[in-house]
Amino acid sequence: MSSELNHGDSSREMVVIRTIKAPRAKVYEAFVSDGIENWWGPDGFTTTTFKRDVRPGGSWIYIMHGPDGTDYNNRIDYTDFIQDELIRYEHGTGDPGVPADFISEISFRDVQGGTEVTLKATFRTAKLREDAFRFGAAEGGQQTLGRLEAFLIGRQV
């Protein structure tokens, strides 16, 4: 496993990169198939899905339950898919009248030893990005990808 965290190319971007020891098609499928709740979220978190429609124009409405008992409302509105290559969506809390906090792109690339997964988030404002970094979103992204890898190779997550 190799991983990288960086601030991206602008004051509004966050990029998380990790190589996962699994074929690209299998990694991509984990993001679009049922069962994402088994690995989604940082270490210690669980996920409850209320609605999930994985297609352009579809959405995923869910709560992430933190290890301290805090619940985090989430809504993803899917915009684009390229099979085994890219997933793009808008991500926010789903609160009425509140725009998404960021646009996310998840890209998948074959590399020696597995699949390089890049999570790129472009926030509406630099302040939202700064808040996300302070909250630990970059580390949370790495942990989420670590849980995905463990799930794919059959380890307990």
Domains along the chain with CATH numbers:
3-152 (3.30.530.20)
The per-residue pLDDT for 71 is: 98
The per-residue pLDDT for 10 is: 82
Q: Is 56 exposed, middle or buried (0-12, 13-18, 19+ CB in 10 A)?
A: exposed
pLDDT bin (cut points 50, 70, 90) of residue 96 is confident
Residue whose C-alpha is closest to residue 77's, from 63, 59, 94 = 59
Give the largest CA-CA distance in the chain.
45
pLDDT over 70, % of the chain = 92
> The pTM is what?
0.90
pLDDT in tens, 63-76: 999 999 999 999 99
pLDDT in tens, 12-39: 999 999 999 999 999 999 999 999 999 9
DSSP 10: S
The per-residue pLDDT for 8 is: 56
Q: How many C-beta neighbours within 10 Å does residue 16 have?
A: 24
Residue with tokens 């409850």: 48
Residue 7 has pLDDT above 60, yes or no: no
Residue 1 has pLDDT above 70, yes or no: no
CA angle centred on 76, ends 127 and 13, rounded to 5°: 30
CA distance 138 to 124: 17
Residue with tokens 């849980």: 147
